[in-house]
Amino acid sequence: MLEIKNLVVQIEDKRILNGLNLTVNKGEMAAIMGPNGSGKSTLSYVIAGKEDYEVLDGEILLDGQNLLEMEADQRAAAGVFLAFQYPLEIPGVASMTFLKATLNAQRKARGEAELTTPDFIKRVNAAAQQLEIPKDMLKRALNVGFSGGEKKRMEILQMALLQPNFCILDETDSGLDIDALRIVSEGVNALRSPDRAFLVITHYQRLLNHIVPDTVHVMSAGRIVKTGGKELALELEATGYADYRETEAA
């Protein structure tokens, strides 16, 4: 599904990704762990198409399509979704309005018909209920005055609605209390399917107790330095990232 080959990226002359290779297969739940500054968030932004990053080498293929040649909105229409670590506020734009605009923009880009309003509302309500999002939150301006937990739930709501086939979760567990973590994890697990792949970026093993990964990659100094099963996460929790920092130096 997603194939990253020898990706080299810099920002303002600072090398962040250093020949990164990564494959995520259809239906797979992949986790990336690593110390601060190892380039995890950069990787998520580069996949999603944020400007400011200079790609010096390598390629990113999603089902064979070269993502690096596409604008961020085209990548979204192709099925890439990034759940932000810090979701942005859009003042004056009701969450409901935003959801409808984005869903219809993607449908249009894929040559599908726009949803009718009743159809749309039905879908939103169903997804909102699962994530325990009250209706009045949907009427409020997107993310404005939302708590950390509300923002993260709103991210997962968008994911549920847009039905992307490649989902990146960037530190979705940060700022969540135990209940919110459970709700968000359940929301993510409900979306697991043989046709959909996930890349979960996190510092802590905690999230992976709820969202159980198929594979765990360790990232350090802009590269994947170790790959294993879910037990690798537990190992890291016990030993820390010290071993991998040495790799960095070497």
Partner 1 sequence: MPAVQETIDQVRSIDVDQYKYGFETEVEMEKSPRGLSEDVIRFISAKKGEPEWMLQWRLDAYKRWLTMKEPAWARVSYDKVDYNDIYYYAAPKKNQAPKSLDEVDPEILKTYEKLGIPLREQEILAGVEPERRVAVDAVFDSVSVATTFKEELSKAGVIFMPISEAIREYPDLVRQYMGSVVPVTDNFFATLNSAVFTDGSFVYIPPGVRCPMELSTYFRINEKNTGQFERTLIIADKGSYVSYLEGCTAPKRDENQLHAAVVELVALDDAEIKYSTVQNWYPGDAEGRGGIYNFVTKRGDCRGKNSVITWTQVETGSAITWKYPSCILRGDGSRGEFYSIAVSNGMQQVDSGTKMIHLGKNTTSRIISKGIAAGKSENTYRGLVSAHRKATGARNFTNCDSLLIGNQCGAHTVPYIESKNATAVFEHEATTSKISEDQMFYCQQRGLSEEEATALIVNGFVKDVLQQLPMEFAVEAQKLISISLEGSVG
Q: Which residues bind partner 1 (CB under 8 A)?
A: 48-52, 71-73, 75-77, 80-82, 84, 87-93, 97-98, 100-106, 109, 141, 158, 162
Render the burial of 124-143: b for 16+ CB within 10 Å, e for the rest: beebbebbebeeebbebbbb
Side-chain-side CA neighbours of residue 204 (13 Å): 11
Q: Considering beta carbons, is residue 98 or 204 the nearer one to partner 1? A: 98
Closest CA to 198 of 19, 44, 35, 16: 44
Minimum separation from the CB atom of position 222 to partner 1 (A): 21
Q: Considering beta carbons, is residue 28 or 170 the nearer one to partner 1? A: 170
Minimum separation from the CB atom of position 80 to partner 1 (A): 8
Minimum separation from the CB atom of position 24 to partner 1 (A): 18
Q: Considering beta carbons, is residue 99 or 218 the nearer one to partner 1? A: 99
Q: Which residues pair with 141 in a beta bridge?
A: 94
Minimum separation from the CB atom of position 49 to partner 1 (A): 7
Q: Considering beta carbons, is residue 116 or 231 the nearer one to partner 1? A: 116
Q: Considering beta carbons, is residue 40 or 226 the nearer one to partner 1? A: 40
Q: Considering beta carbons, is residue 36 or 117 the nearer one to partner 1? A: 117
Minimum separation from the CB atom of position 51 to partner 1 (A): 7
Q: Considering beta carbons, is residue 104 or 130 the nearer one to partner 1? A: 104
Render the burial of 198-225: b for 16+ CB within 10 Å, e for the rest: bbbbbbebebbebbebbbbbbbbbbbbb
Minimum separation from the CB atom of position 242 to partner 1 (A): 33
Contacts of 213 (CB under 8 A, 6+ apart): 29, 30, 31, 200, 230, 233
Amino acid of residue 80: V
Give the angle 223-224-229 at the CA atoms, nearest 5°. 170
CA 104: distance to chain centroid?
A: 21
Minimum separation from the CB atom of position 82 to partner 1 (A): 5
* E strands present in the chain: 2-11, 14-24, 29-33, 54-62, 65-66, 80-83, 166-170, 197-202, 215-220, 223-228
